[in-house]
């Protein structure tokens, strides 16, 4: 059986690295749904349409040609209308706006549909905020990764491209707290664990330990 695996949780909890490594170990496809919301956000920023113009945004979203390709090392490359935007969507300017964009019904309808289509065959690991609750309520394994804000902000600060974003750790911590709050209060796909999700606190675990735990859980489901 090829599982659908959902990995949700707040920014910086280690979701994308863990999801990618779990997918690699199981020979599954990794799908970074946050990158999809970031891509739409970048398209809106480039268009100059204000984020509160929901009708204009709905039109724009329908016209976006969004493609995700898997690289040989299991990462996702994101293309918007044929252009590789994988690096650009990681900018803090995109992070600052993405929660507001992802709180729009038409944006979510468009992306949730796309995510479900990509997952239909199984053999997938999706990471996001609402995968276990909204996108794939039928996922056989649901993980909710958590970590304290201080640990998450430190991790993100280390990952930042300092040539593009020279943000201090305390400013980044504040920005993440604001985004957490917005993501938790998203009207259509709030960040929260599904009732049947297994919560893993990653504060004191290495990436490898988290990956091992999830892979073991997945293997147990496969052989059940």
Question: Among residues 180 and 223, whose Cβ is nearest to ligand DC?
Answer: 180
Smallest gap, in angstroms, from Cβ of residue 94 to ligand DC? Answer: 8
Check binding of 130 to ligand DC (CB under 6 A): yes
Could you tell me which residues are beta bridge partners of residue 30?
Answer: 125
Could you tell me which residues are beta bridge partners of residue 32?
Answer: 127
Provide DSSP, the chain. Answer: ---EEEEE--TTSSHHHHHHHHHHHHT-EEEEHHHHHHHHHHHHHHHT--TT-HHHHHHHHHH--EEEEE-TTS-EEEEETTEE-TTGGGSHHHHHHHHHHTT-HHHHHHHHHHHHHHHTTS-EEEEESSIIIII-TT-SEEEEEE--HHHHHHHHHHHS-TTT----HHHHHHHHHHHHHHHHT-SSS-----TTPEEEE-TT--HHHHHHHHHHHHHHHHH-
Check binding of 156 to ligand DC (CB under 6 A): no
Smallest gap, in angstroms, from Cβ of residue 101 to ligand DC? Answer: 8
| Position among 29, 76, 86, 99 found at the interface with ligand DC (CB under 6 A) | 99
| Position among 7, 44, 98, 197 found at the interface with ligand DC (CB under 6 A) | 98
CB 122, CB 1: distance < 8 Å: yes
CB 69, CB 76: distance < 8 Å: yes
Smallest gap, in angstroms, from Cβ of residue 197 to ligand DC? Answer: 14
Question: Among residues 99 and 173, whose Cβ is nearest to ligand DC?
Answer: 99
Smallest gap, in angstroms, from Cβ of residue 121 to ligand DC? Answer: 19
Question: Among residues 11 and 222, whose Cβ is nearest to ligand DC?
Answer: 11
Nearest CA to 18 out of 95, 80, 74, 99 is that of 74
Q: Report how many residues bind ligand DC under the rule CB under 6 A.
A: 16
**Which stretch, 19-27, 129-137, 168-176, 196-204, contacts ligand DC (CB under 6 A)?**
129-137
Check binding of 37 to ligand DC (CB under 6 A): yes
**Which stretch, 33-41, 157-165, 168-176, 203-211, contacts ligand DC (CB under 6 A)?**
33-41
Q: Considering only residues 176-215, where is the footprint of ligand DC by CB under 6 A?
A: 179, 183, 186, 189
Smallest gap, in angstroms, from Cβ of residue 27 to ligand DC? Answer: 23
Q: Which residues bind ligand DC (CB under 6 A)?
A: 11, 33-34, 37-38, 98-99, 102, 128-131, 179, 183, 186, 189
């Amino acid at each position: 059986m090829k599982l659908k695996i959902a990995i949700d949780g707040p920014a910086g909890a280690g979701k994308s690295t863990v999801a990618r490594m779990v997918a690699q170990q199981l020979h599954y496809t990794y799908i970074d749904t946050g990158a999809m919301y970031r891509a739409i956000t970048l398209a809106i920023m480039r268009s100059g349409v204000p984020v509160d113009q929901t009708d204009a945004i709905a039109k724009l979203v329908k016209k976006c040609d969004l493609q995700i390709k898997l690289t040989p090392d299991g990462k996702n490359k994101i293309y918007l209308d044929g252009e590789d935007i994988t690096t650009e969507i990681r900018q803090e300017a995109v992070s600052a706006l993405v929660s507001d964009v992802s709180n729009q019904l038409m944006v979510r309808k468009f992306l949730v549909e796309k995510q479900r289509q990509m997952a239909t065959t199984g053999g997938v690991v999706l990471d996001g905020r609402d995968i276990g609750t909204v996108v794939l309520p039928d996922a056989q394994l649901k993980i909710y990764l958590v970590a304290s804000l201080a640990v998450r902000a430190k991790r993100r600060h280390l990952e930042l491209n300092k040539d593009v974003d020279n943000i201090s750790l305390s400013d980044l911590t504040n920005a993440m707290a604001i985004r957490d709050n917005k993501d938790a209060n998203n009207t259509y796909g709030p960040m929260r664990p599904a009732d049947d999700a297994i919560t893993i606190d990653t504060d004191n675990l290495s990436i490898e330990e988290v990956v091992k735990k999830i892979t073991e859980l997945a293997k147990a489901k496969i052989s059940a």
